[in-house]
Amino acid sequence: METLSVLGAGTIGSLLVKAGLSQGYRVVATGRSERTLLRVKGLGAEAITDNASAVMRSDLVMISVKPQHFPELAKSIPRELWRGKTVISVMAGVRLDTLRKVMGGAQVFRAMPNVNAVVNMSTTAITGEGEAKELVDSLFRSLGVTYWVSEDMMDVWTALIGSGPAFISEIVDGLVLGAVSSGMPRDLAYSSVLDMLKGTAENLKNHKGHPVEVRDNVTTPAGTTIRGLKAMEERGVKAALIETVESSSRRASELGKLIDERIRRELIGED
Ligand SMILES: NC(=O)C1=CN([C@@H]2O[C@H](COP(=O)(O)OP(=O)(O)OC[C@H]3O[C@@H](n4cnc5c(N)ncnc54)[C@H](O)[C@@H]3O)[C@@H](O)[C@H]2O)C=CC1
Ligand SMILES: O=C(O)[C@@H]1CCC=N1
């Protein structure tokens, strides 16, 4: 049985633990708090605090600490331990090139899943090259669907798909509040808006054309929908959504640059 380690088994890391277990790996997970360690133990993984030992014992290593914590994590693992390993990072922004600098001799991939992995509906982008491609793909397929993309798509993917569940949750909350404000009980509004969201996604997928065509099918002249659409226009909802994704994507690039500079300075000794 092959061993997979998950370094930093938090929100996303514990979903990676589940994926590893479901694919038949022996899983070793690391964390800093007692709570994290107990949780992954409960899932059926071995839980330890020593990252170097986890890497030493694994064939496949997944890195799921926050990007800001990566330089510290990298410092705690002797460079030679990475040789021959397959490494998958799910960290936002951190470039393959930066990862390869730290993990010379490893086969490195980046993946960007989302939190919908909790219901096996993650939409995951993967980038990287090497013979482990199929293995990496099947690991993430156990959490939902996968797309192989070029690395220059990863920042905008992180914004649109990685952070996407947060944006959609915010929109759902706004719609529910609108219904409550118009007199509907919250529970009824919440449950029905989720069904409508699922239905709209299916409808758009089935329609295959542009989403404005579906919008126009709903919009009766002088009816109710046009009044709502006008309010959305007046409040700049579409412009706000464009700016939401742009701004989040810029932050992913920014994080990538910051981490790369720190790695060069603190681990490679470059100025
Ligand atoms: N939360 C999300 O929806 C998504 C997050 N990501 C990426 O996944 C990564 C993790 O994000 P979350 O799971 O949300 O964060 P989190 O804070 O829930 O998990 C990170 C875990 O790493 C642990 N950790 C930090 N330093 C460590 C060290 N030196 N050794 C061992 N464990 C250490 C923390 O204690 C924590 O349990 C980030 O890089 C993020 O960019 C990617 C896709 C979606
Ligand atoms: O907020 C973040 O930085 C992470 C990346 C994608 C989702 N959450």
* Strand runs labelled E in 3-70: 3-7, 26-30, 46-48, 60-63
User: Binding site for NADPH: what residues are annotated?
Assistant: 51
Tokens of 9: 């088994």
Any atom of ligand 2 within 6 Å of the Cβ of 164? no
CB within 8 Å of 63: residues ≥ 6 apart: 7, 8, 70, 73, 87, 88, 89, 90, 91
Whether 110 and 94 have beta carbons less than 8 Å apart is answered as yes
Question: Where does 182-236 have alpha helices with state H?
Answer: 186-207, 211-218, 224-234
What is the β-pairing status of strands 86-89 and 107-112? parallel
Nearest atom in ligand 2 to the alpha carbon of residue 67 is 3
ipTM above 0.95, yes or no: yes
Query: Reduced to 3 states, what is the DSSP secondary structure of residue 88?
Result: strand
Tokens of 261: 């500079």
For ligand 1, the distance from its centroid to the CA atom of residue 12, given in whole angstroms, is 6
Give pLDDT tens digits along the chain (271 positions): 899 999 999 999 999 999 999 999 999 999 999 999 999 999 999 999 999 999 999 999 999 999 999 999 999 999 999 999 999 999 999 999 999 999 989 999 999 999 999 999 999 999 999 999 999 999 999 999 999 999 999 999 999 999 999 999 999 999 999 999 999 999 999 999 999 999 999 999 999 899 999 999 999 999 999 999 999 999 999 999 999 999 999 999 999 999 999 988 988 777 6
Class of domain 3-151: alpha beta
Q: Which of 110, 11, 16, 97 is nearest to 54 (CA)?
A: 16
CB within 8 Å of 208: residues ≥ 6 apart: none
Q: CA 117 to CA 90: how far, in whole Å?
A: 13
147: enclosing H helix or E strand:
strand 144-148
Q: Which of 222, 221, 237 is nearest to 178 (CA)?
A: 237
CA-closest residue to ligand 2 atom 3:
92
Any atom of ligand 2 within 6 Å of the Cβ of 107? no
Whether 54 and 7 have beta carbons less than 8 Å apart is answered as yes
For ligand 1, the distance from its centroid to the CA atom of residue 219, given in whole angstroms, is 43
- CATH number of the structural domain 164-235: 1.10.3730.10
149: enclosing H helix or E strand:
none
pLDDT at 271: 62
Using a 6 Å CB cutoff, which residues line ligand 1?
Answer: 7-8, 10-13, 30-33, 36, 51, 64-67, 69, 72-73, 90-92, 112-115, 162
Name the residue ranges covered by the structural domains of the chain: 3-151, 164-235
What is the β-pairing status of strands 3-7 and 26-30? parallel
Whether 88 and 136 have beta carbons less than 8 Å apart is answered as yes
**Helix 11-22 vs helix 133-141: crossing angle, to nearest 10:** 110
